[in-house]
Structure 1
Amino acid sequence: MKKIILLFLFLGLSLTSCDDEFLDPTKPTEEDVFSSRSGLIGAANGLQSKWSVGRQSPVYTIITGSGFTTNEFRLLNAGNADEAELLAGGVSVSSKNALINNLWSQSLVINAEAQKVLDKIDIITVPAEKASVFVHASIYKALAIGTLVQFFEQVPLETMKNATFSSRAEVIAATIATLKSTEPYLATANGFSGLVGNIKYKNTVNALLARFYLMAGDNDNALLYANLVDLTSKSTFLYDAISNNPIANVAILTPNNYQPIDRTFGLPAALAPTSSDGRVNFYITPGSNPTTGAGFFDSNSKLIPLYLPGEIMLIKAEAYARKNQLPEAILELNKVLTKTAAADAFGVGANLLPYTGTVNQTSILTEIYRNRCIELYMSGLKLEDSKRFNRPNTERNRDWYPYPDSERFNNPNTPADPAN
């Protein structure tokens, strides 16, 4: 992370979907950043820093927001007013909430900056470099818009004054199209010296395509791309002593923010993990009482995965179940249930017996949801999962977040806030 060149940070001052910019004369101009090979590489590296580092980053706001909204966390200090609002949920969540504002503004900035890199990609002439930067920027563009639509009913896809808002279906389609646009480059997108090297581009694109096709309800394509993912390959956000893991730094390692709610992972009794489930002691410090977080979040330098092998297995299980191909769904589900820590690229293992429940679509989908909540704990995906599986409203305190004031006051096309 020390090598990341944050040439584009001045652009972060434009926090809404409009095109107003306030330039600092001591920093490089937009023309400087996007008119050279080194500038484009620096901007591409900066996308990862902006996405993953700091309390304002989407990594922090996604995991924190989803976690409080779906009962994954307990708050240690009500003085953390923004987290307290998300924990209370309902009408308590205001359009002034800083976490929601950061999730919105940072994601819009990343979407805009990624698109500028893509628009100028022909400046880079070495094929492997061009391919790697194109795929790198596309991944962050897809993450930005694809994440926003999990938390907000509608999202602006363009960065312009008075931008119009697009529906969930349109945003997911745009996310998929962004990822699909990388396919001509994947064979040569192997990274190079100077570009952050912790993302395996082909596997990450295929994993994200599987994720977003599943959200779109396209089970056939979700299966197609999930089957292309090498489950031994790892893609991560990098952290070190300077660029800290934001969940560890801001929450888990501090005495006054939040921790895992308990060993139930915030699930109702019928879905809570058993005491023999190895994933409990992976995500929660063994013997801690009250519970403290572990897993990917108990050190400032712990790496956070972009996706887990278990997510890919569960995508396949869910897609088969929704197609009513129940034997195939159970086969994939059992891969997660019986997986040991030693057999998993990140050490996440349930080490349980195979599924012995009722063999019908409803029961199997419920078991898949249960395992997504446990296997992917603190991933930021639970709010989306809770809605997609039509879980009771009592298991989440909101469906959608209100639009930030920074958007509403600058864009007359901002939709009405959702009731819940």
Structure 2
Amino acid sequence: MKKIQTYIVLAALALGQFACNQTFLNPSTISQSQAVSSPDGLITLSNGLQYRYTTGGALSVLYARTAGAGLTTREDFVLNVGNADEANLALGGGNVSNINSVVRNLWTQSHLVRSNAELILANTGVVSDAGTKSGIVGYASIFRALSLGTLGLFFEQSPVTTGNNVPFVPRAQVFKEAITTLESAATQVAAAPVSSDFSGKIVTGIDIPNTIQALIARYALFSGDYDKALAAAAKMDLTKKSVFNFDDNTRNPLFEYTFGNLNVFQPTNVNLGLTGSLTPDPADKRLSFLTKPSTNTAVAPVIATAFYTANNAAVPVYLPGEMLLIQAEAYARKGDLTNAIAQLNRVLTKTAAQDAFGLGAALPAYSGAQTADAVLAEIYKNRQIELAFQGFRLEDSRRFGRPGPGSANAERNRNFFPYPLTERNNNTTTPQDPAN
């Protein structure tokens, strides 16, 4: 991702207004008007979107969403309680305050990426080449959607625009806003394929057409639009990868900050914290892909491997198995158990050789009860394994109605996060914090 380093000086001006209207400008960089006045300036700013979303260790959205989801659902556990904010996430409830750094970074960094993407999208009129414009629109739309989608995973409400005292909207509308952005981008990219000029100047790794459809499918599922989720997932080429690339200078944030050491947090155990009927089959080949025995089992029984094995390890934007499980869940919720089981079986029986990332369970086909509840339970179980460390477990736990805070055998310690104090102090429309 060295190309990001070349461009981040411009992107640092990133015109970083988040929802509470705080602005960060670097006086040593060019002005906003200069940055958005040419195709190259917009491509430069586009590279800055990925830099802000993915890098910076614990500051990154990638780190915060993994920590936020994993620690609140027992997927991960804290190794050193001196990491107070992560430790409080693992405790849950009122221990998660509105000054928690993980919560704050989720909110602030996501809104900064969103607002910067909007700036780019608002200025594409300066781009005359249709293919270059498609690349810029597609890329910026992906990061606007990822940012909005991340906010919807962890907060009951969020602004979707930038300004003074901007209103909050319910999370379902946040997901729909992401989908609208992606659908507009899909039309643009279909009309004019991304140009080689854009591809040669942007950080490599993201497959724009496939990623647009993958994110439509993801957020349509989360917002309950199952037909849209199915239609988008069906357009995917699951043999192609779409990844965030890193190198030794712009580092994989999960490896750099936590999974590469025994100091912050690691997976709870080889079963990923899953118990009872959710306990993975010991023959599931995904377990050895996702974890390996720790070098110090007295501190942690296993450490995460998967996509977090080195500073330069690429992280998927989405996984093929996610798309299959989206289809399985959407069919099941529509009452079509035949197709739901067919898609579920594609995940259960998939071998490493059949997966673009080498992630395969290699298990027998589903043989459980032919009821919606049973099939959905198996889909949920497989989402927890297939999508480990991807930041979805809190959302999944709520959506599937798993035991929550205050319930017997609770599987999550919060439902949503409080709104950061930085927002509350600057936006009078900030809602009351959720009870848990």
TM tier relative to shorter chain:
over 0.9
Instruction: State whether residues 11 and 21 of structure 1, in contact with CA within 8 Å, keep that contact through their aligned partners in structure 2.
Output: no
Which residue of structure 2 lines up, in the alignment, with residue 416 of structure 1? 432
Q: CA deviation at 1:123?
A: 1.1
* Alignment counterpart, residue 123 of structure 1, candidates 123, 126, 135: 126
User: Letter of the aligned partner of 1:295 in structure 2?
Assistant: A
What are structure 1's unaligned runs of at least 5 residues? none
Which residue of structure 2 lines up, in the alignment, with residue 51 of structure 1? 53
Instruction: State whether residues 12 and 106 of structure 1, in contact with CA within 8 Å, keep that contact through their aligned partners in structure 2.
Output: no
Which residue of structure 2 lines up, in the alignment, with residue 331 of structure 1? 342
* Alignment counterpart, residue 93 of structure 1, candidates 93, 96, 100: 96
Q: CA deviation at 1:328?
A: 1.0
User: Letter of the aligned partner of 1:318 in structure 2?
Assistant: E
Q: CA deviation at 1:36?
A: 1.9
Which residue of structure 1 lines up, in the alignment, with residue 2 of structure 2? 2
Q: CA deviation at 1:410?
A: 0.5
Instruction: State whether residues 8 and 30 of structure 1, in contact with CA within 8 Å, keep that contact through their aligned partners in structure 2.
Output: no
In structure 2, relative to structure 1, the CA distance for the partners of 1:395 and 1:12 (3 Å cut) is farther
User: Letter of the aligned partner of 2:54 in structure 1?
Assistant: S
Q: CA deviation at 1:25?
A: 2.1
Matched, 1:237 2:237: no
Which residue of structure 2 lines up, in the alignment, with residue 395 of structure 1? 411
SS of the residue corresponding to residue 10 of structure 1 reads coil
TM-score (norm 1): 0.97
Which residue of structure 1 lines up, in the alignment, with residue 75 of structure 2? 72
* Alignment counterpart, residue 234 of structure 2, candidates 227, 235, 254: 227
SS of the residue corresponding to residue 160 of structure 2 reads coil
Which residue of structure 1 lines up, in the alignment, with residue 117 of structure 2? 114
Give the stretch that moved more between structures: 281-290 or 169-178.
281-290
User: Letter of the aligned partner of 1:140 in structure 2?
Assistant: F
Q: Distance in 2 between matches of 1:270 and 1:419?
A: 29
* Alignment counterpart, residue 252 of structure 1, candidates 232, 255, 259: 259
Give the share of equivalent positions with the same residue, in percent. 43
User: Letter of the aligned partner of 1:300 in structure 2?
Assistant: N
TM-score (norm 2): 0.94
User: Letter of the aligned partner of 1:189 in structure 2?
Assistant: V
User: Letter of the aligned partner of 1:323 in structure 2?
Assistant: K
Matched, 1:61 2:68: no
Q: CA deviation at 1:169?
A: 2.1
User: Pairwise CA RMSD of aligned residues?
Assistant: 1.3
After superposition, residues 194-233 of structure 1 pair within 5 angstroms as: 194-233=201-240
In structure 2, relative to structure 1, the CA distance for the partners of 1:28 and 1:265 (3 Å cut) is same
Q: Distance in 2 between matches of 1:221 and 1:38?
A: 34
Matched, 1:189 2:194: yes
Give the stretch that moved more between structures: 36-45 or 394-403.
36-45
SS of the residue corresponding to residue 77 of structure 2 reads strand
Which residue of structure 2 lines up, in the alignment, with residue 273 of structure 1? 280
Q: CA deviation at 1:196?
A: 1.7
Q: Distance in 2 between matches of 1:297 and 1:25?
A: 36
Q: CA deviation at 1:45?
A: 0.6
Give the stretch that moved more between structures: 180-189 or 305-314.
180-189
Which residue of structure 2 lines up, in the alignment, with residue 340 of structure 1? 351
Q: CA deviation at 1:189?
A: 2.4
Matched, 1:263 2:270: yes
Q: CA deviation at 1:44?
A: 0.4
Which residue of structure 1 lines up, in the alignment, with residue 20 of structure 2? 18
User: Letter of the aligned partner of 2:194 in structure 1?
Assistant: A
Instruction: State whether residues 341 and 347 of structure 1, in contact with CA within 8 Å, keep that contact through their aligned partners in structure 2.
Output: yes
Q: Deviations over 1:96-132 (max 9, x none)?
A: 0011111101111111100010010121212211100
SS of the residue corresponding to residue 259 of structure 1 reads strand
Q: Deviations over 1:191-235 (max 9, x none)?
A: 521112211111111111111111111111111111111110100
Q: Distance in 1 between matches of 2:170 and 2:334?
A: 25
Instruction: State whether residues 12 and 26 of structure 2, in contact with CA within 8 Å, keep that contact through their aligned partners in structure 1.
Output: no
Q: Distance in 1 between matches of 2:22 and 2:396?
A: 35
Q: CA deviation at 1:39?
A: 1.3
Q: CA deviation at 1:23?
A: 3.1
SS of the residue corresponding to residue 182 of structure 1 reads helix
SS of the residue corresponding to residue 105 of structure 1 reads helix
Q: Deviations over 1:339-389 (max 9, x none)?
A: 000110000000100111111000000000000000000000111111111
Instruction: State whether residues 152 and 172 of structure 2, in contact with CA within 8 Å, keep that contact through their aligned partners in structure 1.
Output: no
* Number of residue pairs the alignment of both structures matches: 419
SS of the residue corresponding to residue 200 of structure 2 reads coil
Q: Distance in 2 between matches of 1:198 and 1:8?
A: 19
Q: CA deviation at 1:24?
A: 3.1
Which residue of structure 2 lines up, in the alignment, with residue 317 of structure 1? 328
SS of the residue corresponding to residue 74 of structure 1 reads strand
Q: Distance in 1 between matches of 2:163 and 2:42?
A: 21
Which residue of structure 1 lines up, in the alignment, with residue 289 of structure 2? 282
Q: Distance in 1 between matches of 2:111 and 2:127?
A: 25
SS of the residue corresponding to residue 262 of structure 1 reads coil
Which residue of structure 1 lines up, in the alignment, with residue 407 of structure 2? none
In structure 2, relative to structure 1, the CA distance for the partners of 1:22 and 1:230 (3 Å cut) is closer
SS of the residue corresponding to residue 169 of structure 1 reads helix
Q: Deviations over 1:123-168 (max 9, x none)?
A: 1212211100110000000111111011000000110011110112
Q: Distance in 1 between matches of 2:336 and 2:84?
A: 46
Q: CA deviation at 1:38?
A: 1.8
Instruction: State whether residues 91 and 413 of structure 2, in contact with CA within 8 Å, keep that contact through their aligned partners in structure 1.
Output: yes
Instruction: State whether residues 152 and 158 of structure 2, in contact with CA within 8 Å, keep that contact through their aligned partners in structure 1.
Output: yes
Which residue of structure 2 lines up, in the alignment, with residue 304 of structure 1? 315
